[in-house]
Amino acid sequence: QVQLEESGGGLVQAGGSLRLSCAASGPTNSNYVMGWFRQAPGKERVLVAANNLSGTNTYYADSVKGRFTISVDKAENTVYLGMNSLRPEDTALYYCALDARGRWSQRYDSSIYWYWGQGTQVTVSS
pLDDT in tens, 37-67: 999 999 999 999 999 888 789 999 999 999 9
Q: How high is the pLDDT of residue 115? A: 95
Distance of CA 77 to the CA centre of its chain: 14
Asked if residue 81 has pLDDT above 90, the reply is: yes
Higher pLDDT, 74 or 66: 66
CA distance 18 to 81: 8
* Strand duo 10-13 + 120-125: pairing: parallel
Residue 1: what pLDDT?
A: 83
Average pLDDT over residues 77-83: 94
Is residue 96 pLDDT above 90, yes or no? yes
